[in-house]
A and B are shown apart, each in its own frame.
Chain A
Amino acid sequence: MSSSSTSSSDSHHHPAQVASDNPVLNISELSKSYVMGEVQVDALKSVSVKFYAGELVVLLGASGSGKSTLINIIGGLDVPSSGKLFFHGREITAATEAELTAYRRRSIGFVFQFYNLISSLTALENVQLVTEIAESPMSAKEALLLVGLGHRLDHFPAQLSGGEQQRVAIARAIAKRPELLLCDEPTGALDFQTGKLVLDVIEKVNRELGTTTLVITHNASIAGMADRVVRLRSGEIVEDRKNPERLSPSELVW
C-alpha cells in the first residue's frame, strides 16, 4: 500500500506530506490471539498496514474488532502471536523487554479512554512523570499550555472535569515530543462538546508538531477529521481509505 500527499486548500490541513516507501510503521501479517477466562479470542488475524509520517489516521471499529490490540502492539505494550512490526525499519516485534521500554520512552505517546492519570499527582506532576524520563521533552508547563490547561497546573485529577483530565493525558503523551501519538478511544468517556474539544487538541498537536497520530474509535463520525481511515472488523482490516479532505473537529457531528 502506498500513500500520496493529500494536499488541499483547507486551512486545517497540515503541510503536505511526502509520498514515500519509508513508512513510520510497517505492519506485516500481524496476528494475536489470547485466552480470556475460558474463551480463546483471535483479536487480530493477519493484519498488514503501513502508516506514514505526519498522518492522522482514525482506526474505526466496533468493540472487539481488534483495534485496541493493534494499538497496544504498535505501542509496544503487547506482543503479537505472529507477524512483524517495523518502526522506521527496526523490527519492534523482535525487541527485548528493555528495548521495548526504551521504544515507549522515546517514541510513543499514549492517550487512553479513561485518561489513566495518577490520581495522587497534580496535572503538572502527571506530565512531569514523562518529562522526567524523556530525552528532549518540552517543559511540562508548555505541554499543558498547548492543550489549553495553563490555568490548571496544580489541580489534582479529582478536581478536573473529564475533558480536562483527557487534555492532561494528551499533554502527558505529547510532552516528550513522540513520533507516534496513540489515542485509544480518547472521547469514549466524554460528552459530545467536551469530546470535540479533546479532538481539537489532538488535531492541533498533529498539525503543529507533525506527530504521526493514530486515533482509535468506534464512533464513525470522528473519521471525518482524519487523513486516512482504517476500518477493522473481527480482527481484520476491511477498509483503508483516504479522506479527500480533513474536517476540523468542530465541524464533526454525532
Chain B
Amino acid sequence: MKPLQRKLWRELLHLKGQMLAVAAVVACGISVFVSMSSVKYSLEASRQRYYSRFRFADVFVEVKRAPEFYREMVSRIPGVASVSTRIIADVTLDVPGLDEPATARLVSIPEYRTPVLNDIFLKKGRYIEPGKPEEVIVSKPFLEANHLAPGDHISAVINGRKKELLIVGMGLSPEYIYEVQPGSFFPDKRRFGVFWMSRRALESAMNMSGAFNNMSLTLAHGASEKDVIMQLDNLFRRYGSLGAFGRSEQLSDRFIVDEIKQVGIQITFLPVVFLAVAVFLLNVVLRRIVATQRDQIAVLKAMGYSNEDVGLHYLGFALIPTAVGSVAGTLLGAWLGRGLMNIYGDFYNFAELVYYFRFEDVALSVLLSFGAAVFGALGAVRKAVQLPPAEAMRPESPAIYKPGFFDRESLRSKIPVSLRIIVRNLERRRWKAALSVLMISLAVAILVAGRFTYDSTERMVQVEFNEKHREDVTVLFNNPMPPSVAYAIASLDGVLEHEYYREESVKMGFGHRSRRQSIRGMQSSEGLQRLVDKNNRQLILPPDGVVLTNTLADILGVRVGERLQVDFLQGKQLHREVVVSGTIDEILGLSAYMNLAALNRLAGDGGALNAAYLRIDQAKAGNLYTTFKKMPGVAGIMMLKAMKESFDELIAQSMTTSTLILTTFACVLAFAVVYNGARISLSERARELSSLRVLGMTEAEVSVILLGEQALLTILAIPLGFLIGIGLSWLLAKGLSSELYRLPLVFSAYNFLFAFSVIIIVSALSGLLVRRKLVTLDLVEVLKTRE
C-alpha cells in the first residue's frame, strides 16, 4: 500500500466515530431506496406475471341473470379477445369452530379443467372431479385462517339448502389478490373465502342452467376499453347489469395499484432526506479535516505531490465511508426488502410473490450516493487543492469575532461568559449553525411523520370501528328485501336494536361527468350507524337530498345545492334528479348517503332493504348465529369486532414494522448530526477548552461550553422539526390518499413527545460520548499541539 493510502486508512480509522456516522446515514438512504424500489418492482412484476399467467380479465360485467348465448354475441364485439361467463354467488358457511356464519363467494369453474379467464393457481390438492358436485377448491387465506386443508368438509347454505362441501384443493386467483368481502375494506380471512365450484353444480343449486350472472373478458391489443364497456352496458342493462367496469375499478387490482403507487412515493421522500444529510455531514467533516491538516497539505505539496494527488487523497475521506455505507445499505436494503415482501405476502395473495433484487436499483442508489458524497466533499477538497503551500504552512488566522445581537449592553451583563462563548460561536457561523439545526430538525421531522401514519391509522380505527358503527353485526341480504323483513328480524330472540339500510346502484351525473356509484339509504344517522368525518365530527343526515363524500363530489365537480342526475340501474330504472344537500370528508371510499324514506321516494317503489345492523345480546349470540346460518335470504354477516381484530392484526404488524424502521433511521440521522457537530467543535476548540481548564474551570464547566452549543442547536431544531414533520405528513397524507382512502391529518401529543424524547436521548448520548473524549484530553499535550 502506498504511504498516502496508508495515511488515509489510518486517519479514517482514527475518525471512525464520525466516519461511521456518515456511513450509517448513507446506508439508511440506500437501504430505503433499494428496498422500496425492489419492493415496488417486485410487486409490479409479480402482478403482471400473475395476471398474464392466469389470464386475468380486462373487463367485468355483473348481471342478475343472462342467457348463455350472450357469450357468443359479446365475443363478436370488435376489440374483444376472449370471453368467459360464470356464476357467482355469496352464501353463508358453517365453519367448524366458528359460532357466527362465514361468507363464501362461490365462483363457478368448468367441470373439466380447461384454461379459463381468471384461472386458479392450485397451491395444494387437486382440481375438482366431474360428476362430484360437492367438491370445491378454496382460497388459501381462508383455509389457513381456519386451519382447514384439502380433505376437510365444510357446510354451506346454498339457496336455502344446506350442503356439505368437500375441500379438494387450495387455490389462489389473480381476481382475489386482495381478498375482501364486498362492502368491506379490510380482509377478514376467517369469515370470508372464495370457493371455486363446478359450474354444473352451481347451475343446479342456483337454478341458473343455461344462464350466467358474471362475465369477464379480455381485450384485443389496442382495443378501446371504453367502447367495449359502452356496448356491454347497452347489451346487459336489461339483465340487471350495474355497468361493466375495467380493471381500474376491480377492487383487488385497485388496492394493489394503490399500494404500488404508495411505495413509489416513499422511494422519493426518505432517500432524499438522507442524501441531503449525508451531503451536509461530509461537507462539515471534510472541511474540518482539511482545516486540521493544513500543514500536512503544505508538506505534501512541498514534497512534490500534485494538486490531483492531494485532492484525491482528501476525496477519499468522503468516498470510503460512502462505499462502506453503500455496501451496508445494499445488504440492509436487500434484507429489509425481503422482510417487507413477506409482510405484503400476508396482505396480498399472489401465486408467487417473487422478490426481485435489482442491480439497477443498487447501481442507481450507489451512484446517487457517490454523487452526493463528491458534492458534499467538493468544497473542502477544492480548498485543499487551492491552498497555496506557503500559506498552508502558517497556522490558520484566528477566527474573526464581531459583537453580535447578544452583545448589546442591555443583554451582555445578564448572560454568563460560557453562554456568551456559545452564542458568539453560533453567531459567527450562522450558516453552519442554521444548517445543523435544519439537519437535526429533519430527524425530528422523520420521527413526526413516521408516527403520524400511526396516529392517522389510530384515528381511522377509531372513526370506522367506534364512532361510525355501534352495531355488533351487519346482516347482508342476498336480495333486496321488502320493509316487512324488519318485523321478522325484530322478533328474533336476542336482537336488542335493529336498523336497516338500502343500497341502490345508480349512475350519477353532473354536467359531462358521471360515475357508477351506490347510494345508501339510512334510517337514521344517529342510531347504530352514524356519519363521521375524518376529523371525528358527526354529521346529521338531512331529511332530503343526498350527502356525498368530498372526494366523490370533487370527481363529479358538484357542489352543495346543485342538482345531481341519478339513473337507477335496477328496479324501475328511473331517471331522477336530487339536490346535493351536504358533503362529508370521510376516511374510506366514495359514498353517497340519503335518508331511507327519501331514497325510497326517489326510487319510486315501496321501499327495499339490503342489510340490517343489529345490536345483540351476547348471551344469545350463539342461537342467533345458528338462525342466520340457516336463513335463506342471508348472504352473510359482518362482525365489527372481528373486522377490527383482523385489521389490527394485519395493519398493526406492518405499522409497527414501518414505524420501527423510521424511528431507527431518524435516530441514526439525529445521532450522526449531533455527534459529528460535537466532535467537530471539540476538535476546533480543544486548545481553547484546555486553556480554560488550565485557568481553573472544572470539567463540567468546560463541558457546558462544548456541549451547550449542540444542546442549543438541538433545542432550536425541535420546534422546527415539528413544523417540517407536520408539512411532511401533510405531503405524505396527500400523496398516499386515493379514492380508496384518505389519511386524516392527526398528530397526538404523544407523537411530539415521542419525537422530542428520542431526539433528547440521542443528543444526550452523543454528547456523553464526546464528553468522554473531552475528559480524557491531555491538557499539556493539547496546549503543545500547534494549530
Contact = CB atoms under 8 A, between A and B. Distances in A.
A226 interface: no
B92 to A, nearest CB: 77
A110 B303 contact: yes
A101 B299 contact: no
A72 B393 contact: yes
Contacts of A134: 304
Contacts of B429: none
A69 B390 CA distance: 8
Interface in B375-398: 388-391, 393, 397
B531 to A, nearest CB: 71
B580 to A, nearest CB: 74
Contacts of A112: 295, 299, 393
A77 B306 contact: no
B302 interface: yes
Nearest to A97: B307
B405 interface: no
B7 A101 contact: no
B2 to A, nearest CB: 6
A101 B397 contact: no
Query: Considering residues A37, A118, A126, A128, which has the most beta carbons from chain B within 10 angstroms of its beta carbon?
Result: A118
Given A121-B3, A125-B3, A129-B3, A105 B390 contact: no
Nearest to A36: B397
Given A120-B14, A126-B3, A110 B397 contact: no
Contacts of B304: 101-106, 108, 130, 133-134, 176
Contacts of B4: 129, 132
A72 B388 CA distance: 11
B311 to A, nearest CB: 12
A133 B303 contact: yes
Given A120-B7, A125-B3, A129-B3, A101 B393 contact: no
Given A110-B303, A112-B393, A132 B2 contact: yes
A77 B393 contact: yes
A103 B303 CA distance: 10
A172 B3 CA distance: 12
Nearest to A102: B304
Interface in A37-85: 37, 69, 72-73, 75, 77-78
Interface in B1-20: 2-4, 6-7, 10-11, 14
A92 to B, nearest CB: 14
A78 B296 CA distance: 16
Interface in A84-108: 97-98, 101-106, 108
Contacts of A121: 3, 6-7, 10
A199 B10 CA distance: 32
Contacts of A118: 3, 7, 296, 299
B707 interface: no
A120 B1 CA distance: 14
Contacts of B303: 104-105, 110, 129-130, 133, 172
A135 to B, nearest CB: 10
Interface string A162-177: 0000000000100010
Interface in B281-321: 295-296, 298-307, 309
Contact of A77 (B2, B389, B786): B389
Given A98-B306, A129-B4, A116 B295 contact: yes
A125 B4 CA distance: 9
Query: Considering residues A106, A126, A129, which has the most beta carbons from chain B within 10 angstroms of its beta carbon?
Result: A129
Interface residues of A, number: 34
Interface string A20-49: 000000000000000011000000000000
B590 to A, nearest CB: 66
Contacts of B14: 120
A77 B295 contact: no
A72 B390 contact: yes
A97 B386 CA distance: 11
Interface string A125-155: 1101110111000000000000000000000
B312 to A, nearest CB: 13
B299 A104 contact: no
B3 A108 contact: no
A121 B7 CA distance: 6
Given A97-B307, A101-B307, A118-B299, A78 B3 contact: no
A170 B309 CA distance: 22
A78 B390 contact: yes
A129 B6 CA distance: 10
A97 B306 CA distance: 9
Given A77-B390, A97-B307, A101-B307, A110 B302 contact: yes
Contacts of B307: 97, 101
B141 to A, nearest CB: 60
B401 to A, nearest CB: 13
B589 to A, nearest CB: 64
A78 B4 CA distance: 24
A129 B296 CA distance: 12
A78 B295 contact: no
B786 A114 contact: yes
Query: Considering residues B3, B389, B390, which has the most beta carbons from chain A within 10 angstroms of its beta carbon?
Result: B3
Interface in B185-231: none
Contacts of A116: 295-296, 298-299, 393
A129 B300 CA distance: 8
A107 to B, nearest CB: 9
Contacts of B393: 72, 77, 112, 116
B29 to A, nearest CB: 29
A120 B10 contact: yes
A149 to B, nearest CB: 17
A138 B304 CA distance: 16
Nearest to B305: A133
A37 B295 CA distance: 19
A108 B6 contact: no
Contacts of B10: 120-121
Nearest to B304: A105
Interface in B538-571: none
Interface string A112-124: 1010101011000
A105 B302 CA distance: 8
A73 B2 CA distance: 29
A37 B390 contact: no
B306 A101 contact: yes
A120 B295 contact: no
A160 to B, nearest CB: 14
A205 B388 CA distance: 29
Contacts of B309: 133
Contacts of B3: 118, 121, 125-126, 128-129, 132
Nearest to A173: B303
Contacts of A75: 302
B299 A110 contact: yes
Q: What 9 A-B pairs come out closest when comparing CB atoms?
A: A105-B304, A78-B390, A120-B10, A77-B389, A72-B390, A104-B304, A116-B299, A77-B390, A129-B3
Interface of B: 2-4, 6-7, 10-11, 14, 295-296, 298-307, 309, 388-391, 393, 397, 786
Given A78-B391, A120-B11, 12 more contacts: A72-B393, A78-B390, A98-B306, A105-B303, A112-B393, A116-B299, A121-B10, A129-B3, A130-B303, A133-B304, A134-B304, A172-B303
6 contacts: A72-B389, A72-B393, A78-B389, A103-B304, A120-B6, A129-B4
